[in-house]
Structure 1
């Protein structure tokens, strides 16, 4: 294999396919954002949770979490309240917040090739269908991430098609 990395997304986006490691990467930022949002979704409605508490509950570095919460706030996923009883809470119902919403808020598009949309790639010759594969990869990510909500995670009841993927023995093999 070439030592050149083939990327589905730029370094700052959540998911990248790295040829050297042969794995799909989910950034720490995305992982922390989803976990923090789950805590907020499972909390009492309209009762803010302090960033420090979220950090402790999910073992997330506090300074890193502040930046994540800021991105989630800027995207309209969470709201903040100042003061002694301040903190963070969901800005809308957990049923309306998909994992894709969270990923896009903190890391940008679900899939990109060197920072550009897969369909904007122009390959020729024997590689002319490669961009179509990158589009298909993005579409498959959407099937899981756009259709799974915070409410699904908190209720521990995933969409049937997502659970079917998880239940597949092949899903758990590392290759």
Structure 2
């Protein structure tokens, strides 16, 4: 399960991706549009800025904008950045590997073998799905809804 912070980060990035690339969005705009608490959003955007995902501009025309194209920002990248390792078991983590305390041997662990497939499938989806893909999926859903109405 992803954290609320990661969910808000993804929602903020989709808002920035939908915005005019020339005009930064103010925190208050994103917070209102995406129903994210403003103070929490400030912390999230600062973390995204420190990690080169977004940039901020000061002044009257200030706000936040994406530093990279939405098609280059994956869900996996953001989840790992915000929530940490993307693994159902510590012995399957690619970034924070830790042997399970009660394990006699990873190669013999039936549970690990099943969750290794789960982790691989999840990573494949998360690291191949971009913010742009998510926006495209919403547009497809809207079009389908209009056609069936």
With structure 2 as the length reference, what TM-score do the two structures score? 0.78
1:154 aligns with 2:148: no
Aligned partner of 2:104 in structure 1 is 124
Structure 1 unpaired stretches of 5+? 1-24, 159-175
Aligned partner of 1:52 in structure 2 is 28
Matched residue of 2:55: which SS? strand
Matched residue of 1:156: which SS? helix
Q: Please say if residues 75 and 130 of structure 2, whose CA atoms lie closer than 8 Å, have aligned partners that are also in contact.
A: yes
Aligned residues: 134
Matched residue of 1:89: which SS? strand
Q: Distance in 2 between matches of 1:115 and 1:50?
A: 41
Structure 2 unpaired stretches of 5+? 140-149
40, 48, 57: which is aligned to 2:16? 40
Q: Please say if residues 90 and 99 of structure 2, whose CA atoms lie closer than 8 Å, have aligned partners that are also in contact.
A: no
Q: What do you get for the CA RMSD once the two structures are aligned?
A: 2.6
User: How is 1:24-173 mapped onto 2 (pairs within 5 angstroms)?
Assistant: 25-111=1-87, 113=89, 117=93, 120-122=98-100, 123-124=103-104, 128-156=109-137
Q: Please say if residues 48 and 54 of structure 2, whose CA atoms lie closer than 8 Å, have aligned partners that are also in contact.
A: yes
Structure 1 residue runs of 4 or more that deviate by more than 6 Å after TM superposition: none
